[in-house]
Amino acid sequence: MQLSDNILDQWETIISEVDKENVPLECIKKMVFKLPGSKQKTINIHTLVKQGLEFEDIAKLVSRTMEELNPIDIDFVVDIASVAQLVQPETDKILKRL
């Protein structure tokens, strides 16, 4: 399903308000681990999926990376299109009932 730019903009606003601890891995493009000394390590989830890795394996990789690096903070690059495609059909069903 192709979504318009306007709908994606609306989803970006909604997603910016979500606590990052509650974001499913399937909705993340990249994870950026902030490390001491202004260093960082990035895991490109989108690329790993394209290479054929399953989300279960990616989750193990992320957990192992967190244990090994003990990051100061973690930033996510959210895949807005993935989120919208997951949620928009249900939103449309609900709105049709109103």
The Cα–Cα gap between 92 and 18 comes to 21
Sequence ranges of the domains in the chain: 24-97
CA angle 38, 71, 34 (to 5 degrees): 35
10-54, pLDDT tens digit by residue? 767 776 776 767 778 888 999 999 999 999 999 999 999 999 999
Q: 2: pLDDT confidence band, cut at 50, 70 and 90?
A: low
Q: What is the pTM of this model?
A: 0.70
DSSP three-state, residue 39: strand
56-70, pLDDT tens digit by residue? 999 999 999 999 999
The Cα–Cα gap between 89 and 1 comes to 10
Two tokens, residue 66: 């967190």
